[in-house]
Amino acid sequence: MTLHELYLALVVGGLVVLASIGATRLAAGVGLPSLLLFLGVGVLLGEDVIGIHFSDARLAQDLGTAALAVILIEGGLATRWADVRAQLAPAGVLATVGVGVSSVVTALGVHWLLGLSWQLSLLLGAIVSSTDAAAVFSILRTLQLPRRVVGLLEAESGFNDAPSVILVLLFSSVPFHVSGEELLGDLVYELAAGAGIGLVLGRVGAFGLQRLALPASGLYPIAVFGLGVLAFAAAGSVHASGFLAAYLAALVLANAGLPHRAATASFAEGIGWLAQIGLFVLLGLLVAPHELPGELGPALVAGAVLLLLARPLSVLVSLLPFRVPLWQQAFVSWAGLRGAVPIVLATFPVVEGVPSSHRVLNIVFVLVVLFTLVQGPSLGPLAKALRIAPRESTRQVLVETAPLDVLDAELLTMTVPRHSELNGVSVLELRLPEPSVITLVIREGRTFVPDQDTALRVGDEILVVTTRLTREATERRLRAVSRRGPLAHWFDEYGEPD
């Protein structure tokens, strides 16, 4: 490549990145994962439209695997341990038993309804059985949902890539041969070794960074992210699950009380977005649009089997021991979004030379696009219809100012909902745990600093500065007063999460 060609490639790459970033605004406005627009950019750049030819499935697989690792690291760094702690067991069952049930039911459905061979049917079932971390994170974090539901879905999407990858690799063997003992042995080893490596490196990294004074604050985010990449690579080098190792290492590091947490989260979010853009544009380039209309019918059939039968059954079987309410199970079932993960997994059999595997890639691509269009925008209305949205909730605002970081402080914002007992309660009567304090009130477009006698009203947006140690107690007090008033404790109301 000449210097002129390098400049031209960088211009095209910069324009693609900027166009993709601009597209996220449109996607967020309609409740869609940005992946659809990124995929669209890739298709437009492809050989059927602008004319860029790309058909290297192995390169797409390698780059896609690396990008998925980056996305999972970002997801782990953005996940609060308090949200997922109580959901580890159900999420683990969903990510293993649920993936197995979903794979088998989908494979049976497409084999009988579409007449695909058993190998292609099993591959298709395994490929679409995994929910997508990027899609789940990008949609759920824009909705106000109970923390237990968000934690369950986020943990599931962080865990279930590993079993899906193992199944896809086994089903991609040529000649096709599956051994039950081999399957079980690989699953146990890869998951156990991957989890162990991720947890150990996360703990060791946290121990070192807590005691190591780096010369520049900007080095901490790089060190944290580098540890996540190291966990991914170390696990992969011993044939364990790199995806699981990366996610767990990042989860441990994010919740270890490391310095410069806000800067680390912002850095990880930016790298994660860059990985998503590159990954989805690349996958959009990989497919040939003129081949997709012929797979519309099979994609609709496979997607309907997955969405209406396989996913609900896998959720029901997996969550049965945990007494999760049926309406929450219904939402968890519908919120099992697919995205880049299935498309990347669909390149595995292509690389291994499985006959007709290009057709599976096209079916998966069409399925992901169509059903994301259906599921993404409907999650908000479905949460309201099932009445699982919390009556009152706070959300974290990441602030880059040094004082908050130095003081280990966090900024929360909450809107006083209708029919809330917070209406008419003064700041003094709230009795927030020290050192939490309401610093600002936004009322009907007017912003002011409250005093102790200021009474809150319905619709007020309040900003609360608290610390990491008192955040949970502050949220509980706000919920308790919102439900039963200032004397909530007299009525045995302690603000338990919905």
Mean pLDDT of 152-164: 84
What the block records as the tokens of 414 is: 């909450």
**Residue 437 — pLDDT band, cuts 50, 70, 90?**
very high
* Range in 11-20, 120-129, 164-173, 389-398 with the lowest mean pLDDT: 389-398
Query: In whole angstroms, what is the distance from residue 265 CA to residue 254 CA?
Result: 8
pLDDT range class, residue 402, cuts 50, 70, 90 = very low
Q: How far apart are CA 106 and CA 165, in angstroms?
A: 16
Q: Would the CATH topology of 3-385 be identical to that of 395-491?
A: no
In tens, the pLDDT along 83-136 reads 777 788 898 899 889 999 999 999 999 999 999 999 999 999 999 998 877 677
Nearest to 430 by CA among 391, 487, 497: 487
* Domain parsing of the chain, residue ranges: 3-385, 395-491
CATH number of 3-385: 1.20.1530.20
Q: Who contacts 281 (Cβ-Cβ below 8 Å, separation ≥6)?
A: 16, 20, 38, 39, 41, 42, 45
**Residue 312: which of 322, 327, 298 has the closest Cα?**
327
324, amino acid identity = V
Question: Which sign does the torsion angle of CA 85, 467, 455, 440 carry?
Answer: negative
* Interval 65-92 mean pLDDT: 84
Which pLDDT value is given to residue 403? 47
- Which whole number is the average pLDDT over 135-152? 74
Which amino acid is residue 30, in one-letter code? V
Residue 404: pLDDT band with limits 50, 70, 90:
low
pLDDT of residue 1: 64
Q: Is the pLDDT of residue 196 over 80?
A: yes
Strand 461-467 to strand 437-443: parallel, antiparallel, or no bridges (unpaired)? antiparallel
Q: How far is CA 430 from CA 80, 132, 433, 454, 486, in A?
A: 26, 41, 9, 11, 6
Residue 440 scores a pLDDT above 60? yes
SS3 track for 210-279: HHCCCCCCCHHHHHHHHHHHHHHHHHHHCCCCHHHHHHHHHHHHHCCCCCCHHHHHHHHHHHHHHHHHHH
- Edge-to-edge strand ranges of the sheet holding 437-443: 395-397, 409-415, 461-467, 437-443, 446-448
How far apart CA 156 and CA 133 sit, in angstroms, is 9
What percentage of the chain has pLDDT greater than the value 70? 90
Quickly name the fold that domain 395-491 has: Alpha-Beta Plaits (3.30.70)
* pLDDT tops 80 at residue 180: no
Q: What is the DSSP letter of 52?
A: B
With a CB cutoff of 8 Å and minimum separation 6, the contacts of 364 are 124, 127, 128, 299, 342, 343, 345, 346
What is the per-residue pLDDT across 344-353, written as a single tens digit (0 to 9) for each? 888 999 888 8
323: left (phi over 0), alpha (psi -120 to 50) or beta: left
Which is nearest to 124 in space by CA: 168, 156, 94, 166?
Answer: 168
Statement: residue 234 has pLDDT above 90 = yes
pLDDT band (50, 70, 90) for residue 23: low
CA distances from 239 to 189, 244, 248 (A): 9, 12, 17
Number of other residues whose CB lies within 10 A of the CB of residue 118: 13
Pick from 130, 164, 160, 244: nearest CA to 197? 244
Average pLDDT over residues 267-291: 82
Q: How much is the mean pLDDT over the chain?
A: 83
